[in-house]
A and B are shown apart, each in its own frame.
Chain A
Amino acid sequence: MTVSRRTVLKAGIAGLAASAVAGCNNGAADRGAGEVIYWLWDSAQLPMYTECAKVFQQQNPQYRVRIEQYGWNDYWNKLVTGFISGTAPDVFTSHSSRYPLFADKGQVLPIDDFVAADKVDLSIYQKGLADRWVGADGKRYGLPKDWDTEVYFYNSALTDAAGISAEQLNSMTWNPSDGGTFEQIVARLTVDAKGRRGDQPGFDKNNVKVYGLGYSDAGGADGQTSWSWYAASNGWVYSEGQPWGTKFFYGDPKFTETIGWWRGLITKGYMPTYAQAKSGVDITTSFGAGKYGLTPNGSWMLGTYAGLKGVKTKLARLTQGPNGKRMSMMNGLADTIWAGTTRREASWAWVKFLGSQTAQDIVAKAGVVFPAVTASMPAAKAAFAKAGWDVTPFLEPVEAGNVFPYPANPNAADVAAVMSPAMESVMSFASDPSSLIKANNDVNKILAANA
C-alpha cells in the first residue's frame, strides 16, 4: 500500500482532533454513565477516600468513583478552568472561602431536593456544621465532611525548661491591655542569645534565639490561625451577619486594639518581626527547629506537627478573653456537586455516602481530620490518641458552643486583596492599626459595589 502525503496529513489532523477530544476528561463518551469523578486537594486524605470509594462501589455496584487529587493551588485553578471548559469534576471538596462565589455564579448544584427526597438526617453532624453550607440565597450546597478549630501547639521541652506547667498553659487568660497570663508565659518562653528570658532583667530583644510565640502571617481578612480568637474573645465580630456579611468591622476599636496588642509582642521581642516571620519556609519548619515556644495552628496541621521529629509537641487550649470565653473559629469542608455534571444521581449518591456515618467512620479511623458526623468522633479521638495526641483542646470550644464561623462571602478574594496588604502593613509597622479603618471602608465599598 502506498501512502500519499494527503493521507498522512489527514491522519495527522484526525489524530490532533482525537487528542483534543480526549483532553476533556469529563466527556461523556469515555466513561460510563455511573462513573463519578471526584476531586480533593489533600494527599494525606487520598487513602481514606479511596477506601470510601471501595465501600461505596460495593454498596452501589451501578456506580463507580474515580478520585483525582491536585495540590491546593492547582486545585482551584483547575476547577475554575474546568467550569468553563466543561471538564470540572462531578463532585469536589469545597472550602468556605471559595464556595460562596461558585454558588453565586451558579456553578454548584443546590441539593435541597435530594436532601428532602432522601430524608437525609442533618442532625447527625456537629452542631451548626450543616448550615455552613447553606448559601446566602438560602439554598443548601453541600454535606459537611469534616471540621477544624485552632489550638496552641507547644514545644514541651521549652515549656519544661521555662518551668511552665501544662495546667498553666491550659488556663491562659488574655486581654488587649496587658496580654494577661498569656503574655507572661510568652515572655518567659522567649530566650535571648545570652540565655536571658523575656521576663528577666537585661533581656536583649534585638538578639532573640527562641521566640515565645510564632505566627505564620498577618492573617489577612480571616486571621484564622493568627488573631481570630483574640479578637472574637474581645467581643468582636467580622461582619453584621454571621457568616454572611455585607458590612465588615475591621475598623472597629475592639479589633484595632487587639491587633495593636498583638503586634506589640514584636516590639517587646517576644515575636519575630514581620520580615523575619515571612522570610522563612513556614512556621512549622521553624517550630521544628526549636525556634518557637508556642505556635497557634489548626487541627488539619496535626499530621505536619507529628512529622517534626526534632521536637516534642503538645497541645494547649486557646486563651480566655475579656468575654470570659475561649473562642475558636470552626471551619470545615464539604463535598459539593458541580452544576454542570451529566451524572446528577450518581453524584448525589456519592455525596450522600460521604456524608454518612459509614464513610466518616473510615475517615475518622485514619486520624487525619475530625469527621463532621458526631457519632464518628470517638473513633477519630482514639486514632489521634494512638498517634500520641490528646485532641481535647480542639473539641472543647465546639462542645461549649464557643465557636464562630469563617467569614463567608462571594467576594472573599476581593476582601482578601484589600485586607492582606493592609494587615501586612500594620504588622511590619509601615502603618498604624488605625489605618485598618480605611481598609475597612475599602472593603465595604467593594461589597456595596458588588451587592
Chain B
Amino acid sequence: MTVTTSPPRKRRSLGDLKVAMIFLAPATLGFVVFYIWPTLRGAYLSFTEYSLLSAPKFTGLDNYDRMVHDSFFWNALGVTVEYVVINIGLQTVLAVGIAMLMYRLTKSITVRAVVLLPYLVANVVVALVWYWMLDYQVGIVNQALSWVGIDPVAFFGDSHWAIPTVALINVWRHMGYTALLVFAGLQTIPSYVYEAAEVDGSTELKTFWRITLPLLRPVLVMVLVVTMIGSFQIFDTVAVTTQGGPINATRVIYYYIYERAFTRFDFGYASAMALVLFAILALISLLQLRLLRAKESDLA
C-alpha cells in the first residue's frame, strides 16, 4: 500500500484553481449578470402577463398557447427563414469565392483590408445608405437601371422584393468578413496535399471540390453556425428601412418581438417568443454541428 498523505500535485492544482477563479471572475460576473440572469428572468416572464409598468401576473402556458394561434408569429418565422436562406446561402458562396481569389491570386494586405471595409461601417449606416440608393423615384440604382432600359424596381416597397433586398444589403456588408474567416481556414490546409494533387494531374476545379472544400469543412461549419445565428437575429436593417412592412413582408421575428415588447408593452408574450427563438437556434446549431461532423477533420 502507498502513503496516504495527499500528493503534492493535487495541492498545486488547487492553487491554480484559485488564481484561475480570480481571472475568470470578471467574465463570469458579466456573463451571469448580463446573460444568465436575464435569460432566467425572460423564461419566467414568458409565463406571465407583464406590461412593464405593473407587476407581472402568472398566466401559465397562456403565452405559448397564444403563439400557436398567432398568424403574425408564424408569418414572422416564415419571413425570417426566407431571409436567412437568401442571406446565408449567398453570403457563404460569395465568401468562399472571395477567399479563394484572395488565397490564389494575391497576398496583398490592402486587398484584405478593402474586403473587410463594408463590415466596419455600422449596420444602421449601411442600411440608410442603401435605402437612399434604392429609392424608387430618386435613388441612383433605379436611375442606373433606367439607363439600360430596365423599369424601376420598388426594392423596399414591393412585398416580393423587400426581404431579398434586406438580405442582399447584409450579404454586401458581411461577405468580406466571412471571406476572411474562410481565408484563415484555407491557410490551415497543408500545401503537400495540393502538391500531391498537382502531381496526380488534378484540375483546378477538381482540386477545389475534392480537396479544398472537404478540408475546409470544420471552418465552414463554424462560420455557418455563427453567421446563421446572427442572421436569425436580423433587426436593425428592418428597423431603419421597412419597419416590418409592406404589410407584413419584413416583419421578421426579432422585429415582431421588439414591437410586442417595446411598442405594445406585451413583455410576457415577447419573452415567450424570444424563448422559442432561442430553442430554435439551439436546435439548428446542434443539427448543423451533427450533420456536418464539425469535430472531425478529413486531415486526420
Contacts and interface: CB of A to CB of B under 8 A. Distances in A.
Interface of A: 5, 9, 12, 76-77, 80, 83-84, 101-102, 105-107, 272-281, 285-286, 289, 291, 413-414, 417, 420-421, 424-425, 428, 430
Which of A76, A273, A428 has its CB near the most chain B CB atoms (within 10 A)? A428
Given A276-B136, A280-B136, 12 more contacts: A12-B26, A101-B265, A107-B53, A273-B157, A276-B154, A279-B135, A279-B153, A280-B139, A285-B135, A286-B138, A424-B245, A430-B159
A285 B156 contact: no
Contacts of A101: 265
Contact of A428 (B52, B247, B259, B264): B247
B247 A280 contact: no
Nearest to A414: B264
Contact of B158 (A105, A275, A289): A275
A129 B295 CA distance: 69
A273 B136 CA distance: 11
Given A280-B135, A281-B135, A285-B138, A84 B53 contact: yes
Given A5-B22, A421-B248, A430-B247, A275 B154 contact: yes
Interface residues on chain B, size class: 20 to 34
B138 A425 contact: no
B247 A425 contact: yes
Contacts of B259: 417
14 contacts: A9-B22, A80-B262, A84-B53, A102-B53, A275-B157, A275-B246, A278-B154, A278-B242, A278-B245, A279-B134, A280-B137, A280-B156, A424-B247, A428-B247
B157 A289 contact: no
A279 B158 CA distance: 7
Interface string B53-71: 1100000000000000000
A286 B157 contact: no
User: What does DSSP make chain B's interface, helix, strand, loop or mixed?
Assistant: loop
A430 B245 CA distance: 13
B132 interface: yes
Contacts of B262: 76-77, 80
A105 B53 contact: yes
B52 to A, nearest CB: 6
A424 B53 CA distance: 31
Interface in B169-185: none
Given A105-B51, A279-B155, A417-B259, A274 B138 contact: no
A105 B22 CA distance: 45
Interface in B256-300: 259, 262-265
A276 to B, nearest CB: 5
Interface string B229-242: 00000000000001
Contacts of A5: 22
Contacts of A277: 136, 157
A277 B135 CA distance: 9
